[in-house]
Every structure is written in C-alpha cells, then in structure tokens.
Structure 1
Amino acid sequence: MNLRGGVTRLLAIVGGLVALTGLPYAIYIILYELRKPEGSPAKKEPVEPAVSVVLPTYNEADIVETKLEDLLELDYPMEKVELVVVDSSDDETPELIEAFFEDRDAPELTLLREDERRGLAVALNEAYAAADNEVVVKTDCDSKVAPDAIREAVANLADPDVAAVTGRNAEVLGGSKVERGYRDVQSKIQTLESHLDSTFIFHGPFSAFERDAIRPIDEDSIADDTELALKIRKEGGRVVFDPAIRYREAAHSSFGKRRQQKDRRAMGLLRLLWRQRGMVGRYGKYGRVVLPFNWWFMIISPWLIAGMVGIATLGALTVGGPVGLVVPSALAAVVLLGSRDALGPFQLLYSLFDTQVSLFRASLKLLAGKGDGTWDVDQELREAFN
C-alpha cells in the first residue's frame, strides 16, 4: 500500500469512529434545540417545611467551622433546621462541631460519631435514618452553598411529582477552566434530561430529597447521591436538576491532579449504571432516553475514543514511520495546554475529552476489581475552600 492510500484509509477509519461516537451527542443537541429547556421543570411553590441537613465529615478540622458558618447564613429559618453530622474523624473535627454549637439553640444538632471508617455510604445511611424532618438536604463539607439554596430546593419539592432535586456548580473554586467547561455542558444536559423526565447525576455539594422517598444505598457505593436519586426515580418519583440551586466546589486543572478526583467519581457512576442496567428501556423517557445517553457517554464513548487514539497512533506509525510520532506528540501537546487552561476556544472540547479519559481509566480500574466506599482528603482543595 502506498503512503497516500494508507493515509486515506486511516483517515476513513478514524472519521467513521468520530461519526459513530458523535451521533448520540448530535441527537441530544437536536433535542435541546427543539425543546429549549430553561430552569427547573418543577411547579415551584414558596414553602417552608422543616429541613434536616446531613453533613458527613472526616478530618475536616481546617474547614468545618467555615462550613458551619456558611450553613448558619442560609436564608432559611434556623428553628426549622436540624443539622445531622455523621463523623468518622481521627482529628478534632467532632470537638470543634460541638464547641461551635455549644451556645446556640438553633439549628438543632445531631452528632453521630463513628468509631471507625466504614465508608461514606454506610455513614449516609445512618445519617438519613436519623433525620427527622420532612425534607433532607445533603451537602459536603468542602463546598459552599448559595444562601437561597434550601428555599429553591423546597420550592421544587413542593411539586407532588418531584421527590428529589440537585443543583449546579455556579463557580469552580480554584479557578479550573477544565472543570468549568465540563460543568457548563453538564448543566445543559441535566436541564434537558429534567424536562424530558429526570436527570441521572446528582451532586454531593447539594442535593435535597423528600424524607419518605429516601431508600438505603449500597454499602460499597461510590456514587451515593446519584444512586439515591436513581432509586427514588425507580420507585416513581421524579428527580430533577434546577440551575437556580447554586453551590461552589473546588477542582484541579492539572491533568495528574484531576485524575484522583474525577476517576473516583467516574468509577461510582459506571458501577451504578451497570448494576442498574435493568432500568434501561423502562421507566418512561428516563429509561428510554436519559439512561441510554449516559450509557453511551460514560461506558461506550470512552472506549471508542481510546480506540480512535490507538488506531490513529498505530496507523500513523505504520504508514509514516517516525513521522507518525506527530500524532501522539500532538495529543500530548493538547493535554499539556488543556491542563493549563491554555486552549482558548478549544478549552471546552478539551474538558469533555478530559472527562472521557477519567471514564476510560475508571472502567479499567473497575475491571481490575478496584473501588471502595472511602474517600481521601485533598488538602490542596481544602485550601481552595478556605
């Protein structure tokens, strides 16, 4: 085969894979343009039910007081709020929490102290069981929540069809353009999914649930918020995304540093999709449209992209010899520039590619039998929070 013919064939193969990979995304874009969804699909009403705020903590001594101060500044009557903290720390976190509330009558504090770390899912199941109020809000210690977040959440839950709601990362602490680009795309996807039926992903920094709709999550879960939302949808409740509910969460841009944060989340979502594969095709548009798209985006597409990169690299080396090194070199340059937020108008595409990298790596880790329900403290992100 001559050089020209080889290049033509290689381009045809890669082009075919690109078209195949991009087809579901094109369908979602068309659906978005046809529906033009905005805001939450819920019939929101101004209500003030009693709320239990669940806060899991592990060695949060550097930031827990800042988090508690933020919670007290929420635009919601604190006499209607119960704070349920489930703690497995081996530092002074629980003592700081008790001291913080020592002279306060509201909100009411329930502190559940664990003698050993048993995983986040186990801790959350315990906290949800201890929550007494009509609405349960779950938040993370290393996130900042907008003052009106609870009001917006309970307004969504006033709709009898809606049993759970999550919000959007309005600002990425630490200034990661990689994560910012991905979250912007994700917000559009979740808005569309919510208007079609229900969204798939729920976010740890802020999610709210009707207490009676809460079900136990698997003890080895590493996608606890999304798993709970999925189980609620499985029982008939709608689970939606409302961009009016805002929070802030820290994230890295550096390629290496992002992997631990993104890969673990990806592992949880992949395992959840696989375990709940029987839902595909059922439960209205959730099973016929939303879940199939997430299957494609999270499970199939990363392997197709990895295949494209492999075929393009191998083909270029086979056809062009040493000249073919331009393909992996170009990819390395894109990763380097993208991780430095230096790709300009192409930064958004890189943020999607970066997510696909994590999903591919996560699938390999799961196939190798890795993944548990514990999490590690990222001190650098904790500093961004403060």
Structure 2
Amino acid sequence: MANVLFYLALSLIWLMLLYHMFLMQGGYLHYLRYEKPIKEWEKANKPLPMVSILIPAHNEEVVIERTLKAMVRLQYPKDKLEVIVINDNSSDRTAEIAGSFASKYPFVKVITTQPPYAGKGKSTALNQGLLHASGEVIVVYDADNTPERMAVYYLVLALQNDERAGVVVGKFRVNNAASNLLTRCINIETICFQWMAQAGRHHWFRITTIPGTNFAIRRQILEQLGGWDEKALAEDTELTIRVYNLGYYIRFFPAAITWEQEPETWRVWWKQRTRWARGNQYVVLKFLKKLFSLKRKSIMFDLIYFFFTYFLFFLGVITSDLLLLANLLFDLHLGVGIVSTILWILAFFLYVTEVLIALSVEKTELNLKNIALVLLMYFTYSQIWIVLVVYAFCLEMKRSLFKQEVTWYKTERFQKDNAVHPPSK
C-alpha cells in the first residue's frame, strides 16, 4: 500500500511539472508574437474611450505619492482619463497626499468610503469606486504600483481592437527585487507566473487569470456581473471565472507593464501569500460545485488546474515526503529504488529548466546570480510554499465550517528608499 501511494504521489508531481513545461513553451511562443498586432491596431486609429483608473488605498502613505506621480505621467489623453483614489478607512496621510494631487490635477479624484463599507477590504473599496467612475473602461492598479507611461494606452488599445476580449491584462514586475534574498526569490516567481501561467495558458487555451492590478475591463461587464465579490479574498481570480462564464475571454498583453513593491520580510510574505492561497481555494470550492453548469466550458480546465495546484499537487508532494520520513523511522518496505531516485533527479532538472526558460524572456534576468538562486529555491522557497498552502487550507476549512467572516489583510508597504525602480518608459 505504501508503495502504491508513493508512486501515485510521484505521478501527480510529474504530471504538474510536465504541464508547466507545456505552458512554458506556449509562453515563449506568445512572447515572440504578442507585439505584432500593435502597428495594425494603431493604423486603425479607433477613438480612445473614457477611462477610469481605480486605486484602492488603505493606509498607503508610504507608496501613494510615487504611484500618483506615475499616474500623472501616463501617456493617455487627460480629457479622457480620471484617476480615482479610494481612501478606504485610512488613519495615516493617504487622503492628504492624494488630496494634494487632486488639487493640482483635475483628472485626479479622491473619494472616502463610508460606513458600513469602510475598511471591508479591496473588493468593497473597488465597488465603491465604481459608483463614482464615469469611464466606459475601468482600469485597476494597486496603491504600490508605478505603471510605465504607455501601460494604460496599451491596455485600452488591445481592448478596443479585440472585441472578443472582455478584459486585457498587462505584465507586472518587481521594483524592489534587489532589496534582499526574499525579494529576489519573489522576482523569479513573478517572472515565471507571467510567462508560464499567464502567457502559456493564453497561448494554448485562451485562458488568462485577472491579477489584482494592471488590467482593463469593460464597464458594462462589471455592471452585468454586479461588481466584485466582497466575500472573496482573491477577488481577481473569482472575477476571472465570472467574466469567462459570460462568454468573453481575457487577453494577456505584456506590452502594458507596471512595477510593484513586493514583501521584504517573511512575516509580510506569509500573510500575503496565505490570503492568496485561501482566496484561490475559496474560488475553486465555490465554482467546482457548478463545474458542469458553467456556460463557458473552457474555464473548466482552469478550475481543474487550480484544483490540481492547490489540492492534488500539494497532496502528492506532502504524501511522498511523509512516506519517505516514515520509512526512515519505521520499515514500511518502501521501494525507493533507482527508478524513483532517477525520477526525483529528473524532476529537479525539469523544474530548473522551466524557470530558466522563463528568466531568459526578460532581459538581464538570466544571469549567474539568478541561476544559483533558482537551484536554492527548489529546496527552500518552494518547500515553504507547501507548508503555507496546507496552513491556508486549514484556515479556509475552519472559516467554512464555522461560517466565519472573511478578514482582509492589506499587504504592509516599505519605505520607497528600498525600491530600485527603473526609469519610466
């Protein structure tokens, strides 16, 4: 029995690794092609729509000034642009700093959430911002984001010229990657996510997940859906499923780039990633029950992928690790022979290859320092993720069983002096 479980667990791990390699191939092909339509779209010269940028902000005085400076620099007609800072129950200088920009620039607005909506989390804040927005296209940025000058233009350009797309998603990069070992790991993680999960799934299946930032969505879709789900911790993933179920698809267009700050301490990282894991688990459990009633059948593959990622894959890893540990303490007659050893070594090199291909897409990222870090991440960063997902699952099950109210955790920001931000393009 132990041998059957062990090899079943190895099979689950290998299935996921091979699928990620398949995605990485698609991501690389998307990288080679995504810029080709730009000239044709610009020649079409379609009129640009009114755009409302929503920036939910709760105690963001550390980063909000830099974010609003980036908004002011955006290359988009200012008479067709409004930037709405949603001051959500802040107790610091967020409202004061945002207000100073609003007094200088007519297209910048500040609204303050009121009870009973104040301090309820990002989804609630976005829904309140939507009530004050006048644009036919809604763009969302987190308060720590500094989009490049052409980011919003590219998001809207793709949306205007691709009628089947309900949402256009851009690329995000880490502006404080050089701060410490943790941020370097996160930088590699985000690069892999862009070119593997986002670009790869878009290329092969026309499936992309809406991130929490740097995306444009048609206002009519949000109104049809009733806005964001205020119970979801991963409001972006949840919105993704509902957009696809309406019959639209989501385009990944990495020409639109934003730079964001990532956690610089393990404590902040743990809280943020726990929220992400719990949020995605909530989405899987919410929609898996409706799997066969979904109108857009292709999204079934995405739900199954999330189910595999956050449940079966980690179950396989944990099962194999526990069996190996138990075999050291008790004689389980586990047949860990040459075949399983070779499979583990090959899995390690497959993981490394996938990550290095993703890094090669971004200029300057495929270097000796990052190659050494990738080797280290397999045994450290990736293993910590396993523990985190188990912890998040326990919390989510507890919330579901005891009908607990969802508590939103806002990621702690760090002083801007820690950021190494490239020149705006």
The interval holding the TM-score normalised by the smaller chain is 0.7 to 0.9
1:29-68 map, 5 Å:
29-30=21-22, 33=25, 37-39=29-31, 40=34, 45-46=41-42, 47=46, 48-68=48-68
Q: Distance in 2 between matches of 1:382 and 1:35?
A: 32
Per the alignment, residue 91 of structure 2 pairs with 90
Check 1:287–1:64 CA distance in 2 against 1; reply closer, same or farther (3 A cut): closer
- In structure 2, the partner of 1:130 is 132
Deviations 1:202-252 (Å, cap 9, x if unpaired)? Answer: 222312111111132222221122222321111111113222222222224
2:169 touches 2:251 (CA, 8 Å); kept in 1?
yes
Query: 2:299 is matched with which residue?
Result: 287
1:362–1:42 CA distance, 2 compared to 1 (3 A): farther
Q: Would the aligned equivalents of 1:121 and 1:219 in 2 still touch at CA under 8 Å?
A: yes
Q: 1:141 to 1:96 in 2, by over 3 A?
A: same
Greater CA drift, 36-45 or 207-216: 36-45
User: What is the CA–CA distance in structure 1 between the aligned matches of 2:6 and 2:175, rounded to whole Å?
Assistant: 34
The 5-angstrom pairing of residues 95-106 of structure 1 reads 95-105=96-106
Describe the superposition over 1:71-105 as per-residue Cα deviations: whole angstroms up to 9, x where unpaired: 11112122211112221212232122222221323
Change (3 A) 1:172 1:95: closer
What SS does the corresponding residue of 1:85 show, helix, strand or coil?
strand
User: Is residue 114 of structure 1 aligned with residue 114 of structure 2?
Assistant: yes
Counterpart of 2:18 in structure 1 is 26
Letter in 2 for 1:344: L
The equivalent of 1:211 in structure 2 is 219
Per the alignment, do residues 256 and 102 of structure 1 end up closer, same or farther by CA in structure 2, a change over 3 Å counting?
closer
2:234 maps to which residue?
A: 223
Deviation at 1:182, TM superposition (A): 1.9
Q: Decide whether aligned partners of structure 1 residues 248 and 358 sit closer, same or farther in structure 2, where only a CA change above 3 A counts.
A: farther
Q: Is the contact made by 1:205 and 1:249 (CA closer than 8 Å) also made in structure 2? A: no
Q: 1:131 to 1:238 in 2, by over 3 A?
A: same
Unaligned segments of structure 2, at least 5 residues: 333-368, 421-425
The CA deviation at 1:109 is: 1.9
Contact 1:200 1:291 survives alignment (8 Å): no
Pair 160,151 (structure 1): closer, same or farther in 2 beyond 3 Å = same
- Residue in 2 aligned with 1:263? 274
Structure 1 residues 333-358: Cα deviation after superposition (integer angstroms, max 9, x where no partner):
xxxxxxx9895342453554444433
Please say if 1:169 is aligned against 2:172.
yes
- Label 1:31 to 1:191 Cα distance change in 2 as closer, same or farther (>3 A): closer
Q: Where does 1:61-80 land on structure 2 (aligned, <5 Å)?
A: 61-80=61-80
Structure 1, gaps ≥5 residues long: 1-8, 321-339
**Structure 1 residues 203 and 354: CA distance shift in structure 2, 3 A:** farther
For residues 164 and 51 of structure 2, what CA distance do their matches in structure 1 show? 19
Deviation for aligned residue 1:140: 0.6
**Which among 296, 302, 308 is matched to residue 314 of structure 2?**
302
Is the contact between residue 41 and residue 194 of structure 1 (CA under 8 Å) also seen in structure 2?
Answer: no
Q: Which amino acid aligns with 1:195?
A: H
Higher mean displacement: 157-166 or 311-320: 311-320
- 8 Å contact kept, 2:67–2:144: yes
Post-superposition Cα deviations, 1:178-201, rounded to whole Å, max 9, x if no partner, equal 212222221222112223344353
The answer to whether the 8 Å contact 2:55/2:143 transfers is yes
Aligned to 1:378: 412
Match of 2:244 in 1: 233
- Whether contact under 8 Å (2:63, 2:143) holds in the other structure is yes
Which residue does 1:335 correspond to in 2?
none
In structure 1, what is the Cα distance between the partners aligned to 2:99 and 2:60? 13
Deviates more, 1:350-359 or 1:150-159: 350-359
**C-alpha distance in 2, partners of 1:229/1:269?**
11
Q: Which amino acid aligns with 1:92?
A: R
TM-score normalised by length of structure 2: 0.75
- Give the conservation status (yes or no) of the 8 Å contact 1:32–1:192: yes
Secondary structure, in 3 states, of the residue corresponding to 1:22? Answer: helix
Aligned to 2:186: 179
- Aligned 8 A contact 1:171 1:248 in 2: yes
CA positional deviation for 1:319: 4.4
With the length of structure 1 as denominator, give the TM-score of the two structures.
0.81
Q: 1:139 aligns with which of 135, 138, 141?
A: 141
| Maintained 8 Å contact 2:221/2:243 | yes
